[in-house]
Amino acid sequence: MVNQRTFIPPSAYQVNSIFLRGRLYSVGSASPRNLSIYTHCTSSNPQAARYPCVENYLDYPQLQPYVHDINVRIQTRRSTTVFRIFFKRHVHLPHNPTLCMRGNIVVMRVASKCREFVVNMRGRDAWLADTMIKRYILLKLP
C-alpha cells in the first residue's frame, strides 16, 4: 500500500498542529529513541483527524519518495494495542543495524476508538513497540 505524501513545512501548519510521541528506529543509531512528531490536525477539536508528518524522520526523499504504512495489532492478556508503522522500501537505502533491514522506521500508536487516527505513545507502548519490531515486523513487512 503506497501513499503519496507531500512535505508541509512547519510554518504552514503552526495553528493546527500538535506534537505526538512516537518511536524512531534509525539507520544512524544502534538503539531506538522517542521523538515528538509534527502532526497536522484538521481542526482544533481533539477528536478531529490527525495526519503525522513522518517524512521529516524518514531520510532519502530523492531516492525513495514514497512512504508506506501498515497497522500491526498486538494482543496482550488484558488489552489490544494497534501501532502504525511508517517505512520506506528500497534496495539502495542504508542498512539499519537495529532491524537488519534497510531504512528508518517510525512507530506511532493508533487510537483505540478510531483506527484512522494516531495518538501519543504511553509509557508501556515503547516496550510493546520494541517487542513488536523484534519479533514480528521482520517477517510481516511487505
Asked if pLDDT for residue 108 goes beyond 90, the answer is: yes
Residue 90 counted as domain residue? yes
How would you classify the pairing of strands 101-102 and 95-96?
antiparallel
In the chain, count of helices (H) and strands (E)?
2, 10
Q: Which domain holds residue 16?
A: 10-140
Asked if pLDDT for residue 118 goes beyond 60, the answer is: yes
Q: What is the pLDDT of residue 56?
A: 81
Tell me if 19 sits within 8 A of 39, measured CB to CB.
yes
Residue 121 counted as domain residue? yes
Residue 2 counted as domain residue? no
Residue 38 counted as domain residue? yes
Q: What is the pLDDT of residue 107?
A: 93
Predicted confidence band of residue 84 (pLDDT cuts 50, 70, 90) = very high
| Count: domains in the chain | 1
Cut 0.75: pTM above it: yes
Residue 3 counted as domain residue? no
Which whole number is the average pLDDT over 65-74?
Answer: 86
Q: Quick one: what percent of the chain has pLDDT higher than 90? A: 13
Residue 87 counted as domain residue? yes
| R_g (Cα) of the chain, nearest Å | 15
Residue 73 counted as domain residue? yes
Residues of the chain by 3-state class (helix, strand, coil), percent to 5: 20, 35, 45
pLDDT, one tens digit per residue, over 43-60 is: 666 677 788 888 888 877
